[in-house]
Copies of this chain bind each other. A is one copy, B any other.
Amino acid sequence: MPDLTLEDVAKQAGVSRSTVSRVLNDQPNVRKDVRNRVQAVIETTGFRPHPAARALASQHSWTIGLVYPHSVSYFFTDPYYPHLTKGIAQACNQSSYTLALFLVDTKEGEEKIFTSITRKGLLDGVLVQSGHHGDQEVIGKLIDAKIPQVVIGRPFRQDNVSYVDIDNINGAFNAVTHLIRMGHKRIGTITGPGQSTAGLDRKTGYLKALSERGLKMDTALILEGDFTENGGYYAMKKMLPAKPDAVFAASDIMAIGAMRAAREAGLNIPTDIAFVGFDDLPLATFSGVQLTTVRQPVAQFGAKAVEILLDLIENGINPPRHIIMETELVIRESCGAGIRK
Contact = CB atoms under 8 A, between A and B. Distances in A.
Nearest to A98: B100
Interface in A80-123: 81-83, 85-86, 89-90, 93, 96, 98-105, 109, 112-113, 115-116, 119-122
Interface in A247-300: 253, 256-257, 260, 263, 282-283, 285-288
A197 interface: no
Contacts of A102: 89, 93, 99
A115 B46 contact: yes
The 7 closest A-B pairs by CB, nearest first: A52-B55, A89-B103, A52-B56, A82-B82, A48-B119, A101-B101, A50-B121
A119 B42 CA distance: 14
Contact of A3 (B53, B82, B121): B121
A229 interface: yes
Contacts of A162: none
A42 B104 CA distance: 25
Contact of A116 (B48, B81, B100, B120): B48
Given A52-B55, A56-B53, A104-B93, A98 B122 contact: yes
A119 B51 contact: yes
Contacts of A56: 50, 52-53, 56
A83 B89 contact: no
Interface of A: 3, 46, 48, 50-53, 55-56, 61, 63, 66, 75-77, 79, 81-83, 85-86, 89-90, 93, 96, 98-105, 109, 112-113, 115-116, 119-122, 229, 253, 256-257, 260, 263, 282-283, 285-288
Contacts of A286: 229, 253, 256-257, 260, 287
Contact of A82 (B51, B81, B121): B81
A212 to B, nearest CB: 34
Given A52-B121, A101-B101, 6 more contacts: A51-B55, A51-B61, A85-B85, A93-B113, A100-B100, A283-B283
Contacts of A260: 286-288
Nearest to A263: B288
Contacts of A85: 82, 85, 101, 103
A112 B93 CA distance: 9
A335 to B, nearest CB: 19
A196 to B, nearest CB: 19
A12 to B, nearest CB: 18
A83 B79 CA distance: 10
11 contacts: A51-B52, A51-B55, A51-B119, A52-B52, A63-B100, A75-B86, A76-B83, A86-B103, A89-B101, A260-B287, A260-B288
